[in-house]
Amino acid sequence: MLFRAKKEIAKAISRASALAEGEAFSSLEPAKGGFGDIASKAAFLLASREKKNPAQIAAELAPRLKPHEWVEKTEVAGPYINFTLSSRFYSDALREILKKGKNYGKGNKKGKAIVEFPSVNPNKPWHAGHLRNAILGDSVSRVLSHAGWNVESIDYIDDLGLQVAQSLWGHMNLGNRPSGKFDHWLGMQYVEVAKRMETDAKVQAEARALLKKIEEGDPEISKKARELTERCVSAQYETDFAYSIFHTALIFESDIVRTIFQEGIGLLKSSNAIILEKEGKNAGCWVVKLGEKFQKLQDPDKILVRSDGTATYTGKDLIFQLWKLGKLKGRFGYKPFLKQPNGKTAFATGGKNPKPFGNADMVVNVIGSEQIYPQEVIREVLLRLGHAKEAGRYIHLAHEHVVLPEEKLSGRSGTWKGFTADELLEESVRRAKEKISGEFTEDEKEKIARAVGEGAIRYSFIRTTPEKKLVFKWEEALSLEGNSGPYLQYAYVRARKILEKAGRAKAAPASYQFNAEERKLVLEMCMFPELVEKAASSFRPHLLSEYSYSLSETFSKFYSMHHVLNAEGGARGARLALVKSFEQVLGLSLSLCGVPLPGRM
């Protein structure tokens, strides 16, 4: 609605001046200092053309603007033209928000986007660092979907790494029986095997022999490795679901090697993107010569295929990205892997049934900032293969790690123990439950605590920009005051309580004259559609967390200054429409951040 109002103002400016409509639209910005709602800098754009003072141009232009029912007043303040929106605009805006409901801010169809996350090794539980990746990836998926993209959430399962061979060796030789959640048990066993490998050459040799058999596709060993990894991933997905995170498909590296690897290697070798080194330290290797612009990152000569014909990690990842972008003919077969709590099935490669996954218009890889160099290598190779458009839509959403007081989380050393995503949620729910007062049954307390505990963590993780290190603090995450998930959940629940007492909320009367606090609240809700588009195009879901907090603060001020249920005449209907609209918009914004919406608190 605000976008349409700005379009109408831009049309009026264009008709009354030498500016094109696009130029006039770009001149608009929020008015400052209480001078109206929208300001135009059109006079600045016209000044150089007409060789006049901008203030003079503004004074001459304003009277020529054709009136519109959504504009109550047009005023000149020096070189600016300020527009005050009418009560009719605010009434129409509320009507639109209420009518669209959950579709408010929904964008037009844009194409298919693949978002890859969290790609955790399948031999341990998620720790807090993995959780940040998963929450960021899930929130980006939600925002892109609301902005109009058809989103496939893909999880890459590295089941061919040494860590899987080590875990399989432990499973076959240590004689430990699984107990508790399988990924936790397997993770601790991996720590024990890793320690043995450091001092026992025999264990090291046997683990590497297992890895060779897995890579070669030995029927017995490959089957055991696949069963082990699938069991671990199933346990990891219990964590996934506990945080309301879901996936479309899981792509196993072993299936990449068996299905599209040779085709991808052939494509690369037949192109001019990589070369075969004939001499030197890289003799026999297929290498991409990156040149001067990569010298500040790492080695400007990146090996993609080793002299023995095996691909490096970056080489295999490049082949996977080519599949995502629809540049390979090979197709995976899929099988149902897990029925998810959202009612949708997550599929895994390794089956017989084709699925229309891949062939995306845009790829977003949520990977830690330490992977900036290999991700830039992949983008450079895409350019050299002639895929400039695809390279422009190949996005590495880099993020920093979760900072702990003592040390960096490590799977090999087991420092994640006590900081797993499961333990974090368990502690958050426990602390939330302690804060619950009032007459609730035990079941109700548990349900509320789970929603608040999950919301506290998700919001705390998503509100920090990806490029900043995340320092998690319980006192901030679970606070009922300030910028926290529980505070925003409470604002949502408070609006619901008002509506439950009042009954059905109707649209505001067209004749109602909105006061300053009501106007500010409606105007902020009108910003939601443009903000969704901005968050989607910049891959920054934290913009919606900032918006949720600002919107809640605006609502709190409005509610503290004006009666709603006891308001008289048209004010009661208008304010109930405001409360209902706020509940819808805040609920949408929080949902795009993945924050649960409790019914009671």
pLDDT tens figures, 102-135:
999 999 999 999 999 999 999 999 999 999 999 9
- Across the range 475-488, mean pLDDT stands at 91
pLDDT at 37: 93
Cβ(393)–Cβ(362) below 8 Å: yes
With respect to residue 399, please indicate whether it lies within any of the assigned structural domains. Answer: no
With respect to residue 498, please indicate whether it lies within any of the assigned structural domains. Answer: yes
Above 90 in pLDDT, residue 464? yes
Percent pLDDT > 70 in the chain is: 96
Above 80 in pLDDT, residue 79? yes
Q: What is the pLDDT of residues 388-404, one digit of tens each?
A: 999 999 999 999 988 76
283-319 burial code (b ≥16 CB/10 A, e <16): eebbbbebeeebeeeeeebbbbbeeeeebbebbbbbb
Above 90 in pLDDT, residue 299? no
User: pLDDT grade, residue 67 (50/70/90)?
Assistant: confident
**Of 18, 51, 85, which residue sits at a domain end?**
85
User: pLDDT grade, residue 293 (50/70/90)?
Assistant: low
pLDDT at 221: 96
Above 50 in pLDDT, residue 411? no
- Across the range 566-585, mean pLDDT stands at 93
Above 70 in pLDDT, residue 232? yes
pLDDT at 480: 86
- Average pLDDT, rounded, for the chain: 92
Above 70 in pLDDT, residue 91? yes
Above 80 in pLDDT, residue 327? yes
**Of 34, 51, 85, which residue sits at a domain end?**
85
With respect to residue 551, please indicate whether it lies within any of the assigned structural domains. Answer: yes
**Domain interval for residue 552:** 421-592
CATH code, domain carrying 12: 3.30.1360.70
Residues 6+ apart with CB under 8 A from 292: 300
**Which of 222-226, 295-299, 442-446 is least confident?**
295-299
Above 80 in pLDDT, residue 409? no
**Of 48, 68, 85, which residue sits at a domain end?**
85
Above 90 in pLDDT, residue 300? no
With respect to residue 569, please indicate whether it lies within any of the assigned structural domains. Answer: yes
Locate all alpha helices (DSSP H) within 386-527, ordered by sequence. Answer: 388-392, 421-435, 442-462, 474-477, 485-502, 516-526
Is the pLDDT higher at 335 or at 508? 335
Total tally of structural domains belonging to the chain? 2
User: Starting at the edge strand that comes first in sequence, how are the strands of the sheet with 28-30 ordered?
Assistant: 28-30, 38-40, 80-85, 71-77
Q: What is the pLDDT of residues 129-173, one digit of tens each?
A: 999 999 999 999 999 999 999 999 999 999 998 999 999 999 999
With respect to residue 11, please indicate whether it lies within any of the assigned structural domains. Answer: yes
pLDDT at 42: 95
With respect to residue 352, please indicate whether it lies within any of the assigned structural domains. Answer: no
With respect to residue 588, please indicate whether it lies within any of the assigned structural domains. Answer: yes
CATH code, domain carrying 521: 1.10.730.10
User: pLDDT grade, residue 322 (50/70/90)?
Assistant: very high
With respect to residue 224, please indicate whether it lies within any of the assigned structural domains. Answer: no
Above 50 in pLDDT, residue 289? yes
Contacts 24+ apart (CB under 8 A), 173-181: 173/206, 181/125, 181/235, 181/238, 181/422
Above 50 in pLDDT, residue 407? no
Above 70 in pLDDT, residue 555? yes
